[in-house]
Amino acid sequence: MMKSSTLLRHVARSAATRTPTVSVASRILPARNFTNGAILKDKALSDEAEDNKHDEYSTSGKPGAFEHEGQFSRTDNRIKVEYPEEDNLPSSKPVQGRGGFHFKRTLASFSLEGRVGVVTGGARGLGLVMSQALILSGADVAIVDLNKDEAARQAEELMNHFREENPGATNVPKVTAHYADVASPESVNAAIEEIIADHGKIDNLVTSAGFTENYDAIQYPFDRMQKLWGVNVNGTYLFAIGVAKHLMERKAPGSVVFIGSMSGAIVNVPQPQAPYNAAKAAVRHLASSLAVEWAHAGIRVNCISPGYMLTGLTKKILDDNPELANKWTSLIPQGKMGRPEDLMGAVTFLCSDASGYVTGADLRVDGGYTVT
Ligand SMILES: NC(=O)c1ccc[n+]([C@@H]2O[C@H](COP(=O)([O-])OP(=O)(O)OC[C@H]3O[C@@H](n4cnc5c(N)ncnc54)[C@H](O)[C@@H]3O)[C@@H](O)[C@H]2O)c1
């Protein structure tokens, strides 16, 4: 004969299985119907049910026994998204209509007037919009990218945009484009030399060159994985040390901002991306470590960790995998993906004197994703 405790567990489970959307409390209650009404017996059984309730929620049960089991917190190894080849990358547009002179009072310490900023991966996506943030805040900017033509086109576009939004402005910012493969030390050093020759100096660095891919870890081709770490981790490190060396030689203070990701602090679901998550954790901790190492020289190093941002590339991924959009937004307290513009304030703050006492920090711009 089935022991009553086992029976209760079965009943509780079958009730839960039949009505998957019922609340936790109502899922436990049907167990009481199996008492004969005798108060003592009822109490003994309900004590037992309490024990089983603990059991129910602390064991994984039979496959399919609970519809909810793990479904919001597991990766799905069938999802595979490769970073596109250069020719298939969508191009981005500068943000429209927000850059003209305004007469709102704001802290002068947010201004980047007279500064030169370098943005790696600045030809597209988040890097392009952050370049624009630096320009609108007063800086001249050097855009560095693997795709120099796209970088040059966007540099022109940004200057034209500035002229349109600021008619009559005499002080049009200088925006230049430079080739570099950030994963190669020679290429990085050559780009830094070229930038210093063009602009005379570098004050700020924003490292946005990076990419993600979704692959089941066991299937991920090792050469792709090495490339992913090469661009995201080595690329960040190489550009940072190049710029820090220049700042130290100039005996000038500076501010460096790494673009990490919330994936450096949490594990995204359902798409598998273990190497990317680890790479972004490395970027975040590299920022803290270099912040300590370079504090003596007045060089601040911080990290921005964006959540899901809607760029040309993520839009393409979501168009191809529509179910992902619902899953992602269901996990974001603000209920929506971020826009690249949402990073403009964060990057300006961290580059400017307004954040003079902020170093080694990780600024999450993720709609609250990582606090739940
Ligand atoms: N888009 C998001 O939702 C999101 C979220 C969190 C973090 N991030 C991070 O933000 C950064 C920018 O992402 P994005 O969405 O703007 O990507 P993107 O693909 O739109 O732009 C990345 C740019 O980097 C350039 N690049 C790639 N490899 C390079 C290399 N080896 N050397 C020089 N340039 C190179 C590309 O040509 C491209 O212009 C990445 O580090 C990414 O991991 C993005």
Atom of ligand 1 nearest to the CA of 83: 19
Q: Looking at residues 288-301, what average pLDDT do you find?
A: 98
Q: What span, in angstroms and rounded, lies between the C-alpha atoms of 101 and 290? A: 36
- One domain for residues 35 and 157: no
Answer whether residue 65 is part of any domain: no
- Closest-CA residue to 297 (of 257, 247, 358): 247
Chain-centroid distance, C-alpha 284: 11
CA dihedral 95, 100, 106, 112 (to 10 degrees): 70
Tokens of 189: 């050093």
- Whether residues 111 and 27 share a domain: the answer is no
Q: How far is CA 352 from CA 253, 301, 324, in A?
A: 11, 12, 36
Q: How far is the CA of 185 from the centre of ligand 1 (A)?
A: 19
Q: What is the pLDDT of residues 261-272, one digit of tens each?
A: 999 999 999 999
| Same domain flag for 250 and 364 | yes
pLDDT confidence bin for 32, thresholds 50/70/90: very low
The predicted pLDDT at position 151 comes to: 98
**Hey, what are 190's tokens?**
């050559």
Q: What is d(CA 192, CA 139) in angstroms, rounded to the nearest whole number?
A: 17
Pull the structure tokens for residue 347: 């990057």
For residues 251-283, one letter each, b for 16 or more C-beta atoms within 10 angstroms of the residue's C-beta and e for the rest, the string is eeebbbbbbbbbbbbbebbbbbbbbbbbbbbbb
**What is d(CA 111, CA 129) in angstroms, rounded to the nearest whole number?**
17
Q: How confident is the model at residue 52 (pLDDT cuts 50, 70, 90)?
A: low
126, 220: one domain: yes
Instruction: Tell me whether residue 101 is in a domain.
Output: no
255 in catalytic set: no
**pLDDT at position 62, please?**
60
The per-residue pLDDT for range 142-178, each reduced to its tens digit, is 999 999 999 999 999 999 999 998 888 888 999 999 9
Q: Say if ligand 1 is within 6 A of residue 344 CB.
A: no
* E strand spans, the chain: 116-120, 140-145, 175-179, 204-207, 254-259, 299-306, 362-365
Q: What is the C-alpha to C-alpha distance for residues 112 and 115, in angstroms, rounded to an integer?
A: 6
* Interval 175-231: pLDDT, tens: 999 999 999 999 999 999 999 999 999 999 999 999 999 999 999 999 999 999 999
209 and 268 housed in the same domain:
yes
Q: How far is the CA of 309 from the centre of ligand 1 (A)?
A: 11
Residue 25 has pLDDT above 50, yes or no: no
Cα 261–Cα 329–Cα 230 angle in degrees, nearest 5: 25
Tell me whether residue 15 is in a domain.
Answer: yes
Token digits of residue 264: 């450096």
Q: Which of 261, 263, 305, 352 is catalytic?
A: 261
Phi (first) and psi of residue 236, to 5 degrees: -65, -45
Last residue of a domain, one of 20, 37, 58: 58
**Which atom of ligand 1 is closest in space to residue 338's alpha carbon?**
3
Q: Which of 53, 137, 215, 280 is catalytic?
A: 280
Q: Which of 218, 217, 214, 192 is closest to 205 using CA atoms?
A: 192
Q: Is residue 68 part of a domain?
A: no
Which has the closest alpha carbon to 188: 232, 249, 236?
Answer: 236
For the question of residue 137 being annotated catalytic, the response is no
Same domain (yes/no): 201, 271: yes
164, 52: one domain: no
User: Under DSSP, is residue 86 helix (H, G, I), strand (E, B) or coil?
Assistant: helix
Domain match, 125 and 253 both: yes
Which segments of the chain does DSSP mark as H helices, in order? 4-18, 24-28, 39-58, 125-136, 148-165, 185-199, 222-229, 235-250, 274-294, 312-320, 322-330, 344-351
Q: List the one residue out of 94, 136, 95, 135 whose CA is nearest residue 116.
A: 135
- Total H helices, total E strands in the chain: 12, 7
Question: Which among 144, 145, 347, 366 is the best mutation to test ligand 1's pocket, defined by most ligand atoms within 8 Å of the CB?
Answer: 145
Q: Is 179 in the pocket of ligand 1 (CB under 6 A)?
A: no
Token pair 């991920």: residue = 220
Clarify whether residues 182 and 310 are in a common domain.
Answer: yes
Tokens of 193: 């030399």
The verdict on 120 and 182 lying in the same domain is yes
Residue 168 Rama label (left phi>0; alpha psi -120 to 50; beta): left
Query: For residue 14, what pLDDT band results from cuts at 50, 70 and 90?
Result: very low
| Ligand 1 and 117: CB distance under 6 A | no
Domain contains 172: yes
Q: Kindly state whether residue 289 falls inside one of the protein's structural domains.
A: yes
The model's pLDDT over 62-78, given as tens digits with 9 standing for 90+, comes to 666 555 667 788 888 88
Judgement on whether residues 51 and 135 belong to the same structural domain of the protein:
no
Q: Give the residue from 43, 58, 73 where a domain finishes.
A: 58
Q: Helices 222-229 and 274-294 meet at what angle, rounded to 10?
A: 30
For residue 253, pLDDT beyond 90: yes
Residues contacting residue 372 through CB under 8 Å, at least 6 positions apart: 331, 333
Statement to judge: residues 54 and 113 lie in one domain: no
Number of domains making up the chain:
2
Domain that holds residue 329: 107-371
Residue 309 lies in a domain: yes
Whether the CB-CB separation of 267 and 281 falls below 8 Å is answered with: no
**What pLDDT score does 60 carry?**
62
DSSP 338: B
Q: Residue 64 domain-assigned?
A: no
Which CATH number is 325's domain given?
3.40.50.720
Q: Please give the full DSSP string across 49-62, using - where no structure is assigned.
A: HHHHHHHHHHS--S
